[in-house]
C-alpha cells in the first residue's frame, strides 16, 4: 500500500479488528516515529531489543515489519508539516504504532502533537504501568511495593481544553449564564469547564476492568474528587461502580461487600479513593493498589508521582489507546541537550515496546524484554541518569545499554 510522500509500506500484514478486538498476524506492519532530539538514539536501541526478543521467543516464525512515518521537527524539516496526513493514515490503517518524543511546535496551529494524535484517533485511555526494577535509585524506602497500572481518561475533564481568559468577553458571557443558573463567579475570573460524561467514564473504566481481569490483578481503584465535585468526579466513581456491577458482575466484588463479610473468591475487588487520599496511599501503602482508573487531571499528577518512586522519566513507559488503535510512547520529552550523544536512557521506549508486545498478544517476547531489563539493571549496567545515583554502577551509553539487554534476553 502506498502512503504518499512516505512511499510503500514494507512487506507484511495489517493488524485486523473484529468484534472490538485486534487480530494480529505473524508479520504485522507497525508504523514507528523515531521522534526528535534523543528520539533517534533511543529508537535504535529499542528496535534492536524488540527485534531480538521477537526472534528469540518465536524462533523466526513471527516478526515485526517496521514502517517509518514522520511527525514533529523531523516532519517539519522534511515535509514542512508538523503532522503529515500520511502518518495519521498509516496509524489508522495499521492500528498499532510506537513513537519517540516529539518537539512541541511553538506558536501557531497544533497545540501539541500528542494531543492532536489523541484527538484524531480518539485514544481515550492513557495507560501507564509503574513498577520498580532492582537497583534503580528511588526516593522511597520500599519501591518494590509499587506495581500499579494507571488508566487515565484522555479526552475529557481539563484535557477537553474548554477555557476562556480572565477579562475576555467570552468569560463574561459564561459568567452571566452561570449567574442566571444561580451560581456565583467572581468578576473578572478566567473560566474553565470540566466535562465528564457517562460514555467517556464508562469506556475508560471498562477498559481498566477488562485489563485487570485479563492480567489477574487483585484490585481496581476508582480515583476521584467526588467529595467536592459531585456531578463530575463523583459521577465518575458512580459510573465506574455501575460498569463493574452491570458488565462484570460475576467477576468483580466491591470493597464494601468484603467489609460486610463477603469473600472475594478470586474476583477483582473494586474500590474507590478520593484523589488526595490516593496520593498519600501511593506513598504509604502502595502494595494495596494494583490498577487505578482516574479522571484526566488526577491521573496526570498520579502518573508522574508514581513514576518518580521507581526511577523517574527515563524508566516510565506508556501508551494511548482506543479499542481499535494504540500508540506506545516514550513518556519523556526530546531532551535536546543529549541529542545524538548516545547517552540517554532508552528504558522508557523499550518498556513501551514491551507493552506493545503484550498488546499484540506476544507475551513471551514482552516478558523476555522485561526480564532482560531486570537482569541488566541487577548487574548495575546503567545509563548516566541511574548510574550517577548508584554506587558501583557500570555506566554505559544508549546503544551499549540496548546491547546489554540483547545479551540478557
Ligand atoms: P525532557 O525532554 O523530558 O527532558 C528534561 C530532562 O529530563 C532531561 O534534561 C533529563 O534530565 C531528563 N530526561 C528526559 N528523558 C530522559 C531519559 N530518557 N533518560 C534520562 N533522563 C531523561 O523535557 P523538556 O526539556 O522539558 O522538553 C523538551 C521537548 O520535548 C519540548 O519540545 C517538549 O515540548 C517536548 N516533550 C515531548 C513529549 C512527548 O513527545 N511525549 C513529552 C514531554 C515533552 P537531566 O538533564 O537532569 O539528566
Closest by CA to 162, choosing from 171, 175, 149, is 171
For position 116, what pLDDT does the model report? 85
Say what the alpha-carbon torsion angle 303, 307, 308, 314 is, to the nearest 10 degrees.
-120
What 8-state DSSP symbol labels residue 2?
Answer: B
Catalytic site residue 225?
A: yes
The alpha carbon of 90 and the centre of ligand 1 are apart by a number of angstroms equal to 26
Atom of ligand 1 nearest to the CA of 331: 41
CB 88 within 8 A of CB 121: yes
Catalytic site residue 276?
A: yes
Catalytic site residue 89?
A: no
Please identify which residue in the block is written with the cell numbers 545499554: 401
- Helix/strand/coil percent split, the chain, to 5: 45, 20, 35
Catalytic one of 124, 225, 338, 385: 225
pLDDT in tens, 305-357: 999 999 877 888 999 999 999 999 999 999 999 999 999 999 999 999 999 99
Rounded average pLDDT over 158-186:
92
User: In terms of DSSP H, where are the helices of 342-383?
Assistant: 347-359, 363-378
The residue length of the chain stands at 409
CB atoms closer than 10 angstroms to residue 10? 13
Atom of ligand 1 nearest to the CA of 348: 18
Residues having CB closer than 6 A to ligand 1 are: 101-104, 114, 313-314, 329, 332-335, 344-345, 348, 385
- Residue nearest ligand 1's atom 37 by CA: 333
pLDDT in tens, 350-380: 999 999 999 999 999 999 999 999 999 999 9
For position 311, what pLDDT does the model report? 83
Half-sphere exposure of 154 toward its Cβ, with a 13 Å CA cutoff?
28
> Candidates 126, 312, 332: which one to mutate for ligand 1, based on the most atoms within 8 Å of Cβ?
332
Please identify which residue in the block is written with the cell numbers 508521582: 305
pLDDT in tens, 38-68: 999 999 999 999 999 999 999 999 999 999 9
Catalytic site residue 61?
A: no
Measured distance CA(209)–CA(252) in Å, rounded: 9
CB 209 within 8 A of CB 243: yes
Catalytic one of 124, 300, 384, 385: 300
Amino acid at each position: 500500500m502506498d502512503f504518499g510522500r512516505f512511499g510503500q509500506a514494507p512487506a507484511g500484514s495489517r493488524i485486523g479488528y473484529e468484534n472490538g478486538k485486534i487480530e494480529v498476524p505473524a508479520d504485522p506492519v507497525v508504523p514507528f516515529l523515531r521522534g526528535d532530539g534523543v528520539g533517534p538514539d533511543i529508537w535504535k536501541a529499542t528496535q534492536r531489543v524488540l527485534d531480538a526478543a521477537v526472534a528469540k521467543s518465536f524462533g523466526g516464525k513471527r516478526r515485526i515489519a517496521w514502517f517509518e512515518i514522520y511527525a514533529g521537527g523531523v516532519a517539519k524539516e522534511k515535509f514542512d508539516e508538523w503532522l503529515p496526513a500520511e502518518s495519521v493514515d498509516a496509524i489508522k490503517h495499521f492500528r498499532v504504532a510506537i513513537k519517540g518524543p516529539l518537539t512541541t511546535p511553538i506558536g501557531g496551529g497544533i497545540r501539541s502533537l500528542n494531543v492532536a494524535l489523541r484527538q484524531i484517533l480518539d485514544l481515550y485511555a492513557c495507560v501507564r504501568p509503574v513498577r520498580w526494577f532492582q537497583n534503580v535509585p528511588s526516593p522511597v524506602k520500599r519501591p518494590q511495593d509499587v506495581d500499579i497500572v494507571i488508566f487515565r481518561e484522555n479526552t475529557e475533564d481539563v484535557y477537553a481544553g474548554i477555557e476562556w481568559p480572565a477579562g475576555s468577553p467570552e468569560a463574561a458571557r459564561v459568567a452571566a449564564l452561570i449567574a442566571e443558573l444561580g451560581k456565583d463567579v467572581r468578576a473578572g475570573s478566567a473560566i474553565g469547564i470540566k466535562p465528564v460524561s457517562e460514555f467517556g467514564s464508562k469506556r475508560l473504566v471498562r477498559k481498566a476492568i477488562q485489563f485487570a481481569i485479563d492480567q489477574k490483578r487483585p484490585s481496581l481503584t476508582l480515583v476521584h474528587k467526588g467529595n467536592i465535585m459531585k456531578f463530575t468526579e463523583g459521577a465518575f466513581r458512580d459510573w465506574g461502580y455501575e460498569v463493574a456491577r452491570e458488565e462484570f458482575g460475576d467477576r468483580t466484588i466491591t470493597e464494601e461487600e468484603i467489609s460486610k463479610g463477603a469473600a472475594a473468591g478470586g474476583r477483582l475487588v473494586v474500590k474507590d479513593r478520593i484523589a488526595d487520599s490516593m496520593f498519600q496511599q501511593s506513598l504509604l501503602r502502595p502494595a494495596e493498589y494494583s490498577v487505578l482508573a482516574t479522571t484526566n487531571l488526577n491521573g496526570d499528577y498520579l502518573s508522574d508521582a508514581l513514576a518518580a518512586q521507581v526511577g523517574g522519566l527515563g524508566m516510565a513507559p506508556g501508551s494511548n489507546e482506543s479499542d481499535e488503535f494504540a500508540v506506545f510512547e516514550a513518556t519523556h520529552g526530546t531532551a535536546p541537550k543529549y541529542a545524538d550523544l548516545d547517552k540517554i536512557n532508552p528504558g522508557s521506549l523499550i518498556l513501551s515496546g514491551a507493552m506493545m508486545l503484550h498488546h499484540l498478544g506476544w507475551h513471551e517476547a514482552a516478558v523476555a524484554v522485561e526480564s532482560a531489563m531486570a537482569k541488566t539493571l541487577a548487574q548495575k549496567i546503567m545509563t548516566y541518569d541511574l548510574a550517577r545515583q548508584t554506587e558501583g554502577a557500570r555506566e554505559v551509553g544508549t546503544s551499549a545499554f540496548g546491547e546489554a539487554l540483547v545479551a540478557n534476553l
